Structure 1
Amino acid sequence: MISKISTLMGELSYILAQKAGKKGSALPGKVAMKIKPDVLDDLIVKCDKTAIITGTNGKTTTNNLANHVFSGNNNEVISNLNGSNMLQGVISPFLIDKKNKYDWGIFEVDEGSMCDVTQFIDADYIILTNFFRDQLDRYGEVENTIQIVHDSIKNENATLILNADSPSSLYFSDLKNKKVYYSLGETKFAKEEQTVAESVVCPKCESKLEYEYINYGNMGKFSCPNCGIKNPEADYIITDVTLKAESYDFTVKDKKESAEIDLHLLGIYNLYNALGVITLARENNFSYDLIKKQIENFEYKLGRMETIDLGFTEVVLVLSKNPIGLSEVFSTINYDKSKKSLMFIMNDYSPDGTDVSWIWDAYFKEAVNIKNVDNFYCVGTRAEEVAMRLKYEEFPIDKIKIYHSQNRFDLQLPNHDFLNEDNDKKYLIATFTALPEVRKELMRMKEGK
């Protein structure tokens, strides 16, 4: 009876939120939990199989792509597709969708919420994307985050899908779970040394790791000169990556078959995200034909390299919330030789991380090297910090435009020249709280409002 009341109240809260013009992506779960804290126990039994996606970067993209691929195989899939990834965000989709049975439940889970979620979900698969320094005021150093996730994995029957190029994958080697590894081979975009301050310490002996190449962050082909530890052997690997105007062509191989796929998402990190999904699908006997079809017709609409066409100009909207992500965004933009403007909206609310010193760890020299930039707009509650970081790397001062925001709603997009500059493209980078607000503003402009 209590379970029924809790779900009904959660469903009602969503209806009211919608009428008030709110998304209500986490509210139904929050309301239901107030009445019955273990309500997820009653809901998760609707799923025949479950997968959890966690890690620092790539959770939302991986989750959305996995949902799309698995739905393409005539599966009934439930997921938290909007990025609400704490316990209440995992509960809410059940209260919104309200079906009685699902073939798959695929959920992204915040690293710090893994212990809460795995109390109720004995996942069949857990995808671990990567672990970087992120929101140090919330998690502390990255080893602490890894330990939180490690200790949350109680179900020894869960198959762990691990990034073989990330040294953090080695922290999970003591677990008895079956492990499947994926890897991105050396690409023409790889670097010979690190450009961002990230952990490169051997998990076994704490010596400094050596790299043959780095794809991004601290992910690449590594080995320890002291104890000899190195990348685990990959079961799935991407090779032969070529960059086109708006996509990557690549070959994916496993021990049985291979396929050539065109991914319409820029950023090396998205190759890793796609490969995590491919690994999950292949482990569940999906054909490469289906995987290829679903990946190639996938469209992403939540601000992760999303292009919004305003009619008079195009804006590429990108989330960035830590040094690795921002550095890779700059690196990706660097391959675009067209005439462009850049904007970075940086806020310092709790979801963004109140400590914004992380931008001093990001590789801003990459931003300085971007060709054909008309101006760089610094916006947000910490706009001045972004401007200072650019000046420190000797970005041309006459091209730095500062617009301080009073709060996260104060975007001032109509009040400056960013959108009206006469160039081919605009790149708008935003932190966590800025992203949904700026996307709403751009979509209103697209709709002529």
Structure 2
Amino acid sequence: GTNGKTTTNNLINHILHSEYDDVLSNLRGANMPQGVASAFLNDTKNEYDWGVFEVDEGSFPNIVKYLKPDYVVITNFFRDQLDRFGEIENTSKIVYEALKPLDTTLILNADDPMVSKFKDLNKKNVYYGVEKSRFSTLDQRVVESRFCPVCSNSLDYEYFNYGQLGKYMCSKCGFENPEYDYKITSIKYSEDAYHFRIDNNGKIHDVIFRYDGIYNAYNCCAAIAFSIEAGLDMEKVTKRIENFEYKLGRMENIEFKNKMVKIVLVKNPIGLSEVLKSISNDQRRKSILFILNDNPADGTDVSWIWDADVEVIHNIKNLESFHCAGIRAQDIALRLKYAEYTDKIVEIDKNIEDSIETVLAEDVDIVYILPTYTAVYQTRDIIMGHLNQTNARIPRLREIIKSKIGN
């Protein structure tokens, strides 16, 4: 799918490690054929208990020629890298056609009409989704497709959770959400964590996930659906989700001196819109640094920032400043201008390292850094470099103090 692959892949890997020693996975998000092959090169064993792989949509047909999946989890289809994929109907078709000859179980997002139509493949289907919550809305500005994938009639929505994900029905052919096997029935946000209640055929469990975004309700639900179908115990699964930590630069929380730094990958309209909505739930004093590159791995077409609901920035409280960096820093500033964001200072600096140093020095409680793909690990390396320099100075300072005043 488009969004949520890395998070869902990492969650499943983390959950499986509660029961199995040898789990092979490409956890860093390198999801093309060479990335999957590298997972084997980095961890050479004769056999594994499980292989769990995040797979790029365009690479999916080539990869499943050599790795035959027992399960395929499909998250969603949004516009992403238009210069490479085109519109989402084409992306969906690539995956759909590749699945036809496979003997596999499909774990499908029932709330995305572009995904739920995969039930026509007549595989063993498992459906997951999220019911209406206080985060749902009828006023959804960024919707990728409002049309029925069966008859092309306009879909009627009872509510949206995000993007085109929600409760839908076609008045012409009757196409609608399939019945859930796994569903999140309530969502609460407190103490910087999301509290989900999940229903598996009448069995109710509570789940805590300590990373932002309503989209993570779907990622957690997908991981749970796979894990239970694979025979794991629900209590163990929910505990593993609660103690899950990101250490790879995506949604990672880094404690830096007197503030928190959060790195969140953004790469398409839906992703950016939802990240900004998520930030609006945070009441702390904050700064935002958006790093926009247009390297081939990012997608050379950056017009997607105009499709994102950047206007939601007006709902973000206690925002002290907004910084623009990367190859296309000026494009971000222009987008903010058209969003009529003039309340705070907008800093523009193409140099990523200088921008990070500037934002780290600000007097705020939390810094949100939103890099596109090629800037994610560079961003993390710069931050960790500054953090290591600070930590390295502490022992030296202690020695100087001891020499001056004694133990």
TM bucket (normalised to shorter chain) is over 0.9
Question: Is 1:447 aligned to 2:393, yes or no?
Answer: no
Residue in structure 1 matched with residue 370 of structure 2 by the alignment: 429
Q: Which has the larger displacement, 68-77 or 213-222?
A: 68-77
Residue in structure 1 matched with residue 216 of structure 2 by the alignment: 270
Question: Is 1:93 aligned to 2:35, yes or no?
Answer: no
Offset at residue 359 of structure 1 (A): 0.4
Which portions of structure 1, spanning 4 or more consecutive aligned residues, are displaced by more than 6 angstroms? none
Q: 1:414 to 1:233 in 2, by over 3 A?
A: closer
Residue in structure 2 matched with residue 279 of structure 1 by the alignment: 225
Residue in structure 2 matched with residue 212 of structure 1 by the alignment: 158
Offset at residue 197 of structure 1 (A): 4.3
Residue in structure 2 matched with residue 34 of structure 1 by the alignment: none
* Residues in 2 aligned to 1:238 and 1:296: alpha-carbon distance in whole angstroms: 16
* Residues in 2 aligned to 1:398 and 1:195: alpha-carbon distance in whole angstroms: 24
Residue in structure 1 matched with residue 291 of structure 2 by the alignment: 345
Question: Is 1:184 aligned to 2:130, yes or no?
Answer: yes
Offset at residue 397 of structure 1 (A): 6.0
Offset from partner CA, 1:78-136 (integer Å, 9 cap, x none): 11111111111111122211122211111010000001101011110000000000010
Q: 1:401 to 1:207 in 2, by over 3 A?
A: same
* Residues in 1 aligned to 2:265 and 2:353: alpha-carbon distance in whole angstroms: 15
Residue in structure 1 matched with residue 3 of structure 2 by the alignment: 57
Offset at residue 302 of structure 1 (A): 2.1
Among 274, 279, 286, the alignment partner of 1:328 is 274
Residue in structure 2 matched with residue 412 of structure 1 by the alignment: 354
Offset at residue 258 of structure 1 (A): 2.2
Residue in structure 2 matched with residue 147 of structure 1 by the alignment: 93
Scaled by the length of structure 2, the TM-score of the pair is 0.93
3-state SS, counterpart of residue 72 of structure 2: strand
3-state SS, counterpart of residue 64 of structure 1: helix
Aligned sequence identity (%): 47
8 Å contact from structure 1 (residues 150, 172) kept in 2: yes
Offset at residue 174 of structure 1 (A): 2.0
8 Å contact from structure 2 (residues 250, 376) kept in 1: no
Among 359, 370, 393, the alignment partner of 2:305 is 359
Question: Is 1:235 aligned to 2:181, yes or no?
Answer: yes
Offset from partner CA, 1:273-294 (integer Å, 9 cap, x none): 1111100011122111110111
Letter in 1 for 2:321: N
Question: Is 1:289 aligned to 2:235, yes or no?
Answer: yes
Q: 1:241 to 1:397 in 2, by over 3 A?
A: closer
Spell out the pairing of 1:309-320 with structure 2 (5 A cutoff).
309-320=255-266
Residue in structure 2 matched with residue 38 of structure 1 by the alignment: none
8 Å contact from structure 1 (residues 75, 104) kept in 2: no
* Residues in 2 aligned to 1:390 and 1:374: alpha-carbon distance in whole angstroms: 15
Offset at residue 75 of structure 1 (A): 4.4
8 Å contact from structure 1 (residues 196, 363) kept in 2: yes
Question: Is 1:385 aligned to 2:331, yes or no?
Answer: yes
Q: 1:197 to 1:163 in 2, by over 3 A?
A: closer
3-state SS, counterpart of residue 264 of structure 2: strand
* Residues in 2 aligned to 1:362 and 1:291: alpha-carbon distance in whole angstroms: 34
Offset at residue 193 of structure 1 (A): 2.8
Q: 1:233 to 1:75 in 2, by over 3 A?
A: farther
Among 109, 116, 126, the alignment partner of 2:55 is 109
Scaled by the length of structure 1, the TM-score of the pair is 0.84
Alignment gaps of 5+ in structure 1: 1-54
Q: 1:104 to 1:415 in 2, by over 3 A?
A: closer
Offset from partner CA, 1:288-308 (integer Å, 9 cap, x none): 111011111111122332111
Among 25, 28, 32, the alignment partner of 1:79 is 25
Offset at residue 155 of structure 1 (A): 4.0
* Residues in 2 aligned to 1:217 and 1:56: alpha-carbon distance in whole angstroms: 12
3-state SS, counterpart of residue 336 of structure 2: helix
* Residues in 1 aligned to 2:85 and 2:323: alpha-carbon distance in whole angstroms: 30
Letter in 1 for 2:213: G
8 Å contact from structure 1 (residues 223, 229) kept in 2: yes
3-state SS, counterpart of residue 202 of structure 1: coil
* Residues in 2 aligned to 1:403 and 1:397: alpha-carbon distance in whole angstroms: 19
Offset from partner CA, 1:332-359 (integer Å, 9 cap, x none): 0000111111110001111111111100
3-state SS, counterpart of residue 78 of structure 1: strand
Question: Number of residue pairs matched?
Answer: 390
Residue in structure 2 matched with residue 41 of structure 1 by the alignment: none
Letter in 2 for 1:179: N
Aligned-pair Cα RMSD in Å: 1.4
Q: 1:414 to 1:83 in 2, by over 3 A?
A: closer
Q: 1:414 to 1:356 in 2, by over 3 A?
A: closer
Q: 1:91 to 1:420 in 2, by over 3 A?
A: same
